[in-house]
Structure 1
C-alpha cells in the first residue's frame, strides 16, 4: 500500500508591503487568511513538526487529513498577521528562526524575542533555522557546528526550552549536514523538495511545499491535496537540480584547495 503523504506548507513572510528581497516568497495577509480558511473548510488537521515526527517515530496513527503550517526565518508579519488567523482557527504551527536575524538583522522587518515568546505561548512550536542563514552544506565542520549550536542555545536561552525541530536554510543539506543537525540535538528536520512528506523520507529529510505570493487559491488547494505537484513545481525542480551540480562542484574545489594547502 502506498504511504499517504502529509503536506507541509512552507511560508516565509506574511506582509502587506514586503521589500524586493522578500516579496516573491511573501504572502499577503488577505491571501493567508483565505488559505487557512480553506484548510479549515477541507477538514484538515494541522500539527506541529515535532508532533508529526513523534507520531511517526512511535508508530502512533496520524489524525485524519494532517497538514503542517511552517514559517521560515522569523519575519515580523508572522506575529502581526499570521498569529491572529492561526488563533481564529485554533491551528498550531511551527516557526523556524534564524537567530542572528531576530530583532532587525534580517533582510526585512524581523520579529523580536518578545514576539517569539508570545508566539510560543500561543502554541507555535519554535524550531531552529541556523544562526546567520548560510548554505550549510557549503560550510566546513567547525563553522557548521557553530551555526547549529549558536541557534540551538539562543532559542533555549530565550524560551527556556531546547528546540527539537530544524529547517535547512534554502532547503540545502547533505548527509554530513544531517548528521551534524542530529548531533546538535535536533530530532527532526525539514528540507523543501516541493512534494508531500512521507515517513520513508526519514526524520531529517522531510519535504515541504512552497507557498508564494503568486500562489492562487486553486494552486494552494493542489498543495493540500497533492494533485499535479510535479507540474506545479517543474521549474523549481529543474533549477534545484542545476544548482545542486554547481554546489557539488564548489565543494570539490574547496576540498582540493584544502588538500593542496
Structure 2
C-alpha cells in the first residue's frame, strides 16, 4: 500500500510517501524476485472463480490519488509491465468534484483517465476521506455510492474495488460498500492478503518513507511483519476502541 510518490511531499503525507528513487528500487526488487503484480479486481476474481493465480502474485496499490502516482510511478510500472490499482478520493481530485481539503497535489481526472487507459485499475476511496464508521447511514451512502457514481461518470465504467479511508472498517461499513456496488475492498492490517479474510476485508502492507530496500524485500516475502508493524497494531486496536466509543455516544437515546 502506497500513498504519495514524490521528492518533497507535503508534511501531512511525508511519512506515508516514498521517493521516486525508492519506488523504482522497490519495483526492481519485485521484478528480480519473480513477483507478478495484478489488479485488486483480478485477485478477487481469481479467488471467486477458482482460476489459478500467476506466479508469486502481489498487489501494488496507491491510496488517495496523489499526482506523483502519474508523474513518477506510472513510468516505472510501464517499464516493468506491472499492473496496479489506484484508489481515488473523488472529492480531492482536481476538477469539477473538488471539495477541497486535499493534503497535497492530487491527480486531475485527465490523469486518472490516462492511468486507466494504460491498464491501471481505478478504485474508489470515498468522496472526502472521512472515518466511515463515524457516519450516519445517509452520509455513509453518499461517501461510498457517491464516490462510485462520480468515478463511473468520469471514466465511463464504475469502479469494482474500494479501499477504506484510514484502512479501517466495521461490518456496517462493509455492508454499505457492498450495497454501493463494489465487489471487493481493501483494509490495511499490515499482513498478507488471504482468501479467508473475505472479499471486503483484504489486508495490505504499508510502505513508508522509512522503508528501506532490505525491509521492503522482507515484507513482500512475508517475513518480519509482526516486528515491523508491532506499534501499528497496538495503535490500531486502541483507535478501534475509541471509534467504537464515539459511535455509541452519538446514537440517540
The 1-side partners of 2:196 and 2:53 are apart by: 15
Cα distance per residue 1:206-248 (max 9 Å; x no partner): 0000000000011101111001100110000011011111111
- 1:95-114 to 2 correspondences below 5 Å: 95-103=86-94, 105=100, 106-114=102-110
**Cα distance, 1:72 vs structure 2:** 0.3
Question: Does structure 1 retain, via aligned residues, the 8 Å contact 2:91–2:128?
Answer: yes
Q: Does 1:94 align with 2:90?
A: no
The 2-side partners of 1:242 and 1:151 are apart by: 29
Q: Does 1:221 align with 2:212?
A: no
* Deviating 4+ runs (over 3 angstroms): none
Identify the residue that residue 40 of structure 2 maps to in structure 1: 49
Instruction: Return the match for 2:124 from 123, 128, 135.
Output: 128
Identify the residue that residue 186 of structure 2 maps to in structure 1: 190
Larger RCO (CA under 8 A, 6+ residues apart): 1
Unaligned 5+ runs, structure 1 = 1-9
Question: Does structure 1 retain, via aligned residues, the 8 Å contact 2:4–2:68?
Answer: yes
- 1:72-91 to 2 correspondences below 5 Å: 72-91=63-82
Unaligned 5+ runs, structure 2 = none
The 2-side partners of 1:49 and 1:66 are apart by: 11
- 1:173-188 to 2 correspondences below 5 Å: 173-188=169-184
| Paired positions, count | 248
The 2-side partners of 1:87 and 1:218 are apart by: 24
* Structure number having the greater strand percentage: 1
| RMSD after superposition | 0.7
